[in-house]
Amino acid sequence: MSNFLKFYIDGAWVDPAVDPAVDPAVRATLDVIDPATEEPFATIALGTSADVDRAVAAARAAFPAFSATSREERLALMRRLLDAYKARYDAVADTLSREMGAPTTLAHRSQAAMGTAHLARMIETLESFAFEELRGSTLISKEPIGVVGMITPWNWPINQIMCKVAPALAAGCTMVLKPSEIAPLNATLFAEAVHEAGVPKGVFNLVNGDGPTVGEAIARHPGVDMVSFTGSTRAGILVAKAAADTVKRVHQELGGKSANIILDDADLDRAVKLGVESCMNNSGQSCNAPTRMFVPASLHDQAIAIARTTAERLKAGAPAAADTRLGPVVSQIQYDKIQRLIEAGIAEGAELVTGGPGRPEGLNRGYYVRPTVFANVTDDMTIAREEIFGPVLAILPYGSEEEAIRRANDTPYGLASYVQSGSLERARKVAARMRSGNVYINHPAWDAGAPFGGYKQSGNGREYAEFGLEEFLEIKGTVGYAPA
- Whether 200 and 62 have beta carbons less than 8 Å apart is answered as yes
Residue 16, helix vs strand vs coil: coil
Cα torsion for 463, 468, 473, 479, to the nearest 10°?
-110
CA distance 17 to 419: 51
Q: Which of 173, 287, 401, 463 is catalytic?
A: 287
Whole-number Å distance between alpha carbons of 394 and 380: 12
Nearest alpha carbon to residue 118 among 153, 156, 172, 144: 156
Phi-psi region of 106 (alpha: psi -120 to 50; beta: other; left: phi over 0): alpha
Per the rule left: phi > 0, alpha: psi between -120 and 50, beta: everything else, 471 is alpha
As beta bridge partners, residue 419 has 261, 441
DSSP per residue, 433-447: T--SSEEEESSPPP-
307 contacts 353 by C-beta, under 8 angstroms: yes
For this structure, is 253 an active site residue?
Answer: yes
Ramachandran region, residue 77 (left: φ > 0; alpha: ψ -120 to 50; beta: rest): alpha
**For 97-106, b where at least 16 C-beta lie within 10 A, e where not — what string?**
bbbbbbbbbb
DSSP string spanning 286-311? -TT---EEEEEGGGHHHHHHHHHHHH
- What are the angstrom distances between the C-alpha of 218 and each of 36, 54, 151, 224, 269? 32, 11, 9, 7, 48
User: In which order are the strands placed within the sheet that holds 132-135?
Assistant: 132-135, 138-144, 473-478
Q: What are phi and psi of 44, to 5 degrees?
A: -120, 155
- Choosing from 192, 253, 401, 463, the catalytic residue is 253
Other CB atoms within 10 Å distance of the CB of residue 265: 13
* Residue 27 CB-density burial (10 A; 0-12 exposed, 13-18 middle, 19+ buried): middle
Q: State how far the Cα of 457 lies from the Cα of 255, in Å rounded to an integer.
A: 7
* DSSP H or E segment with residue 420: strand 416-420
Q: What's the DSSP call for residue 324?
A: -
| Residues classed as catalytic | 253, 287
